[in-house]
């Protein structure tokens, strides 16, 4: 097989909002454990397997600070262990029933394998696994801003603080400084590239239309050295498209249809217009054949795209395909199988694969681009996070951030003693922590998409209330009450212990 010109980069973006101790079902920790069991466990198992074979530069993996915190959190680790054990028990009970025997045995095998994997590799969290993959050169990890805010709508000081704290959190967990980030929702506003450069970010992801559809090379943004890599929609949509993506094939396991007796998924997609009760039973052999066919199709798609783009621009081109990690396993049951086979098949077909960091260092960068306002949401603009449907949340976010910044500024100024080192103040830390949790981009997304909108509004208002409550105590000089409230709210979530309000930029030093 002849070598295909250019380079292919696969990027996976892993994110869930902070769910620990905020409900269980239908939205809450169950969401975390389902994604963990179906996606994070098998995807990292695939990467460990390929790393053991000495394969390097396989893909770029984004893990947001808020998800990384949950995958390392003792409460979540214990909850996940229980969840896997419960899955195994449910499968065992199903296998004891004649009409569910085949389904039960299949699920019991999956649950037992997942439980063994978790007990062997995950009991100290995800960070040791990710550090091993980094050290082996298997992956590049992308970090991101703390608590996943939609950055274009965030006060510049809070934006700079969130990014700096997110990068520090990643370095603490993974023992390495991430060169790139996955900006939450791929949200961008002109000027943010200066903030990225000041924070040491070398590259970030945008959606294809942000680069006017020309994603054949990374592009430096205006006069900065920061590179924006664009998602190639022609290749990415081959996998995940509402109308024609691979997961919709008739042979794959249906995500939406449950067997009500067992709570397990027993059906295959069968057809787009086939009702749940009428769907055919899942057949792993049919699914495996579909995986092989879709792997071959994807490899052919990438080869043709690299060839055509290289010819068009007159030099070796870059193709970047990017997806949510949760697609692989959670939404698309066979996704991890497909992923492993694709990562083997692409090099065998003469396609050079690598990470975004590889692509930047190897010169897959074109002329500067005047990047405009954008996201990877509906319309590729900001409507999901700034539209009329979430106008109240936009106002809430502005008020909460302003309250937190004003209160912390006054508290720090009052406590300042000339010539002495500023001491850490846990109350200030918690004010900023709660404000960042309140402005998570997930809440507006869930409201705009009418996906557990009530839960999303409740979460935004809960953290806004915590911010206001602590701020009121500080402003009224009730020191003991402020400390008690801050400690209580901190204990309720127990995340981002490294956040330090002393690192909040001054008014005159924040980068736009």
Closest CA to 154 of 448, 510, 462, 439: 439
Check residue 208 and give left, alpha or beta (phi > 0: left; psi -120 to 50: alpha). Answer: alpha
The radius of gyration of the chain from alpha carbons, rounded to an integer in Å, stands at 23
How far apart CA 484 and CA 490 sit, in angstroms, is 10
Phi, psi of 371 (to 5 degrees): -70, 130
Where b means 16+ CB within 10 Å and e means fewer, 5-39 reads bbbbbbbbbbbbbbbbbbbeeebbbebbbebbbbb
How far apart CA 332 and CA 247 sit, in angstroms, is 6
Polymer length in residues for the chain: 512
Q: How far is CA 501 from CA 42, 339, 411, in A?
A: 37, 41, 11
Give yes or no: 72 in active site.
no
Phi, psi of 222 (to 5 degrees): 50, -125
Give yes or no: 508 in active site.
no
Q: Which residue in 155, 165, 185, 232 is the catalytic one?
A: 185
How far apart CA 33 and CA 14 sit, in angstroms, is 14
How far apart CA 36 and CA 30 sit, in angstroms, is 10
Closest CA to 252 of 290, 278, 196, 215: 290
Give 483: exposed, middle or buried? Use CB within 10 Å, 0-12, 13-18, 19+: middle
Contacts 24+ apart (CB under 8 A), 81-88: 81/115, 81/118, 81/119, 83/30, 83/33, 83/36, 83/37, 84/37, 84/111, 84/114, 84/115, 84/118, 85/115, 87/37, 87/111, 87/114, 87/115, 88/112, 88/115
Q: Count the neighbouring beta carbons within 10 Å of the beta carbon of residue 223.
A: 9
Q: Which residue in 117, 225, 259, 324 is the catalytic one?
A: 324
Catalytic residues: 185, 324
């Amino acid at each position: 097989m002849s070598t295909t010109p250019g380079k292919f980069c696969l990027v996976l973006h892993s994110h869930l909002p902070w769910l620990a101790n905020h409900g269980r079902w239908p939205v809450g920790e169950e969401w975390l454990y389902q994604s963990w069991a179906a996606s994070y466990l098998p995807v990292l198992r695939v990467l460990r397997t390929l790393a053991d074979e000495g394969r390097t530069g396989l893909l770029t993996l984004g893990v947001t600070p808020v998800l990384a915190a949950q995958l390392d959190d003792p409460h979540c680790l214990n909850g996940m262990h229980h969840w896997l054990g419960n899955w195994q028990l449910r499968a065992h009970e199903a296998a004891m029933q004649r009409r569910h025997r085949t389904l039960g045995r299949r699920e019991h095998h999956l649950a037992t394998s997942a439980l063994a994997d978790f007990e062997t590799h995950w009991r100290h969290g995800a960070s040791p696994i990710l550090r091993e993959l980094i050290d082996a050169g298997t992956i590049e990890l992308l970090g991101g801003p703390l608590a996943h805010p939609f950055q274009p709508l965030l006060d510049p000081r809070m934006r700079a603080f969130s990014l700096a704290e997110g990068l520090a959190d990643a370095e603490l967990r993974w023992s390495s400084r991430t060169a790139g980030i996955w900006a939450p929702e791929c949200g961008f506003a002109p000027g943010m590239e200066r903030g990225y450069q000041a924070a040491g970010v070398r590259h970030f992801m945008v959606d294809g239309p942000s680069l006017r559809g020309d994603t054949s090379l990374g592009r430096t943004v205006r006069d900065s050295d920061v590179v924006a890599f664009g998602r190639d929609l022609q290749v990415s949509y081959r996998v995940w498209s509402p109308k024609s993506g691979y997961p919709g094939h008739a042979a794959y396991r249906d995500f939406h249809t449950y067997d009500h007796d067992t709570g397990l998924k027993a059906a295959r997609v069968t057809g787009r217009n086939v009702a749940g009760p009428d769907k055919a039973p899942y057949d792993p052999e049919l699914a495996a054949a579909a995986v092989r066919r879709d792997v071959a199709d994807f490899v052919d798609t990438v080869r043709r795209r690299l060839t055509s783009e290289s010819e068009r621009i007159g030099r070796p081109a870059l193709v970047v395909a990017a997806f949510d990690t949760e697609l692989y396993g959670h939404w698309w049951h066979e996704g991890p199988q497909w992923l492993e086979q694709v990562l083997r098949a692409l090099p065998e077909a003469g396609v050079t694969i690598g990470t975004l960091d590889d692509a930047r260092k190897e010169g897959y960068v074109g002329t500067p681009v005047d990047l405009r306002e954008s996201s990877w949401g509906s319309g590729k603009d900001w409507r999901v996070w700034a539209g009329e449907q979430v106008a109240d949340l936009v106002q809430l976010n502005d008020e909460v951030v302003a309250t937190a910044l004003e209160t912390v500024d006054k508290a720090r100024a009052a406590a300042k003693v000339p010539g002495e080192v500023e001491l850490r103040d846990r109350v200030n830390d918690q004010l900023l922590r709660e404000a960042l949790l309140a402005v998570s981009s997930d809440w507006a997304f869930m409201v705009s998409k009418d996906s557990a909108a009530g839960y999303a509004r409740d979460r935004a208002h809960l953290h806004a209330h915590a911010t206001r409550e602590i701020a009121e105590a500080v402003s009224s000089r009730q020191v003991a009450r402020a400390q008690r409230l801050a400690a209580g709210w901190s204990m309720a979530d127990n995340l981002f212990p490294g956040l330090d309000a002393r690192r909040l930029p001054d008014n005159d030093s924040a980068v736009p």
